[in-house]
Amino acid sequence: MNISLAETAKALSGARKLVLTAHVNPDGDAIGSALGLGHVLRGMGKDVQVFIDDDIPAIFSVLPGYEVIERPEKETREEKIKADLLVVLDTSLDRIGDVGDIVDAPVFNIDHHVTNKGEAERLYLDSNRAATAEIMYELIKEMGQDFTQDIAMCIYTGIATDTGFFRYSNTTPFTMRAAAELMEYGVKPNIISEAMEQKSYDVVKGMAEAMQTIERFCDGKAAGLFLDQALTASIENTEGFIDMVRVIEGVDVAVLLKCKEERLCRVSMRSKGLDVAKIADGFGGGGHVRAAGCTLEMSFAEAKKTIMEAIGKALEAGI
């Protein structure tokens, strides 16, 4: 059931114990939104836990509350966590991994992705917002809560990362006004951007290896980085890798394929014109028109062939 922002604020305000989660392969919007909302709810005296079923890149350790994020351990848990609400942020329910299996609570979904499948009992969706963190910014105001520096840092990071630090086409006047107000609460944009851009020596070396896998296809309209299981395992963090492909002259669609396990591959796509959300949706994924992703449960070779063919068909169809 779709609900309003006011109804969302009322439901969160009325809950006592909440579990917050976001999608696997979490980005700055997922993590920033979860941590920012967590700070707000704890400030209201509520019992809050944050679970994300994936590794959390160390670059996000700059965010207050980073250390409270837990990973669900379904196999070792004797009973489910009972809560008033399970709040799923920045994704539909099919991308939260094992979190749904360890929590016994009504599901509340807040998202900005047009591909959200609407499976939650209650859903607040605003696809006009550049980031779920923009919705968090509005929601905090609707709940009548004050911003703190900790909250502002988390929300700003979500907005900044999902807009490519205000370079992508989803950046709006609302985006800039929200970011400016958050700065008034003590956010230092240079600290956030430097933290997000920081890479370890090993990651930079890994990037050099990853760049050797670049392939152009579809007559140069698409290009990708294709990391097999061994190379994926050797690289701690691939944040920003796809941007190295996106800037190639003549390339409309950039893709990053990472083989996480023998038959589990993660796909990220960026585009300048093509609707990559439609491609991702065809594989059970989702995202934005210009940035989307999915998971392919197949071998590296199969996944590479599959995603290249799907991109090729989309480019040919001009969708």
Q: Which fold has domain 201-317?
A: Diaminopimelate Epimerase; Chain A, domain 1 (3.10.310)
For CATH 3.90.1640.10, the residue range(s) in the chain are 5-196
Show the tokens assigned to 5: 């922002």
- Count of CA atoms in the C-beta half-sphere (13 A) of 23: 26
CA dihedral of 220, 224, 228, 229, whole degrees rounded to 10? -170
Token pair 């296809």 is found at 217
For CATH 3.10.310.30, the residue range(s) in the chain are 201-317
3 state DSSP class of 73: coil
Please give the CATH superfamily to which domain 5-196 belongs. inorganic pyrophosphatase (n-terminal core) (3.90.1640.10)
Q: Phi first, then psi: give them for residue 113, nearest 5 degrees.
A: -85, 125
SS3 content of the chain, % helix, strand, coil (to 5): 40, 20, 40
Distance in angstroms (rounded) separating the CA atoms of residues 32 and 38:
10
From first to last of its 319 residues, the chain has per-residue pLDDT tens of 899 999 999 999 999 999 999 998 899 999 999 999 999 999 999 999 999 999 898 899 999 999 999 999 876 777 899 999 999 999 999 889 999 999 999 999 999 998 898 999 999 999 999 999 999 999 999 999 999 999 999 999 999 999 999 988 899 999 999 999 999 999 999 999 999 988 889 889 999 999 999 999 999 999 999 999 999 999 988 888 998 999 999 999 999 999 999 999 999 999 998 999 999 999 988 888 888 899 999 999 999 999 999 999 999 987 6
3 state DSSP class of 239: coil
